[in-house]
Amino acid sequence: MPHPNATELGTALTDDEVLVLRRDFPALQQQVNGRDLVYLDSGATSQKPASVLDAERAFYEHDNSAVHRGAHTLAANATELFENARATVARFVGVRENEIVWTSNATEGINLLAYGMSNASLGRGGSDAARFVLREGDEIVTTEGEHHANLVPWQELAARTGATLRHIPVNDDGTLRMDDAERLIGPQTKLVAFTHISNVTGVINPVEDLVRMAHDVGALVVLDACQSAPHRVLDLTTLDVDFAVFSGHKMLAPTGIGVLYGRAELLDALPPFLTGGSMITTVTLEASGYLPAPQRFEAGTQKVSQAIALAAAVDYLTAVGVDRIEAWETELGARLVDGFSAIPGVRVLGPAAGEHRAGLASVDVDGVHAHDVGQFLDDRGIAVRVGHHCAQPLHRRFGVTASTRASAYLYNTTAEIDAVIDGMGAVRSFFGVK
């Protein structure tokens, strides 16, 4: 299936174009602490364009009804919009409609997989689910650089099944130690789970190499695409991953909507996690039969308006050009790292200036806690993320408990990047650190 954005990386956006795009985002028109808002926290959650807000509002004003239930006009309209949204998102990531499962967020998607595999390990799903069975002696491989959402569920799965959890370590710059990956991924490996792009360092992991290693030993691959789906051309079929997750709220859509991708034959064999109405074929007082994917994983009343709004967000990103967004963010990320690296007492976590990375940068400011850095910048109207970014093991690897992260998106300008660099340069003197 050809991907709609399967082209060479396009020409980057320009500041003039970005200034026009910013008019579409109501939240960016405000002031914070008497300053024009500089929003550099899209790695946590993105702002929403008016077209996305309008799409969700229009559903509630005109088509609000339960999907896949009832024969009246509103129910039919709602179901059509809901399933059209699924088709739109599927095209965006280069997969088939029946390979897209709606979730509340990426975290739920990973837990769905982990608990589905746990159910298979308890004998649910029969012979079709044998691929997912884990037992003592089997291994799950993840990395030292994961978000907690792609670590804690696998810890729990290992605890429930007796499997062993192993981790690929990272180098001092946050890149994976691929020689260790070759050693760790072996005959006992049943699952390899890793992030596409680190939400702390901006490192872009070698997906193709890790997929090859995993598939060479018959292991399944789970890709955390939360920091890639919003920012770069993503073709999950070409990447050949078995499962992937991403969240709508990081890609211009509302909170409460996420996506689990799975190869169709795997989803159809995986035992469900949540059960109840809408995911069944027949129900007796003693037992039930389940629908094929994706409906078998969508029990109960679904996130209808959020899914429709996610499709509107995908349409917006596609209209701008995901390849152009990626090129622009690459420029902004390099500008961030160059600027931060030039400030005495500021340490950039991850690849050094000049190395390829995504459009974000996390720093440790010598002598000043990350929360104080964030409050100082907020006083200037600059919104950044502070803390461990749900990645405590990675911060521990770098010898810090917290960092300050600036993350760019399609609506950020070079002037905003310069503003956060200027603000960061003033932090240590403000707090009297020499």
Question: Which structure tokens are listed for 339?
Answer: 């600027």
String of b and e for 243-267 (b: at least 16 CB within 10 Å)?
bbbbbbbbbbbbebbbbbbbbeebb
Number of other CB atoms surrounding residue 20 within 10 Å: 11
Please state whether 205 falls in left (phi above 0), alpha (psi between -120 and 50) or beta: beta
The residue from 390, 392, 418, 431 that is catalytic is 390
- 390 labelled catalytic: yes
Closest CA to 242 of 90, 86, 108, 113: 113
Residues 434 and 347: their CA atoms lie apart, in Å, by 15
According to DSSP, the residues that pair with 243 across neighbouring strands are 222, 262
Residue 184, H or E segment: helix 178-184
Indicate the DSSP class of residue 2: -
- On the 0-12 / 13-18 / 19+ scale of CB atoms within 10 A, 96 is middle
Measure CA 421 to chain center.
26
Residues 325 and 318: their CA atoms lie apart, in Å, by 10
How many residues belong to the chain?
434
Residue that the structure tokens 């308006």 belong to: 305
Number of other CB atoms surrounding residue 353 within 10 Å: 16
Q: Are 204 and 358 in contact (CB under 8 A)?
A: yes
Residues 227 and 196: their CA atoms lie apart, in Å, by 7
Q: List helix spans (H) across 187-235.
A: 207-216
HSE-CB of 32 using CA atoms within 13 angstroms: 16
Residue that the structure tokens 């990375």 belong to: 357
Measure CA 304 to chain center.
20
Catalytic residue numbers read 390
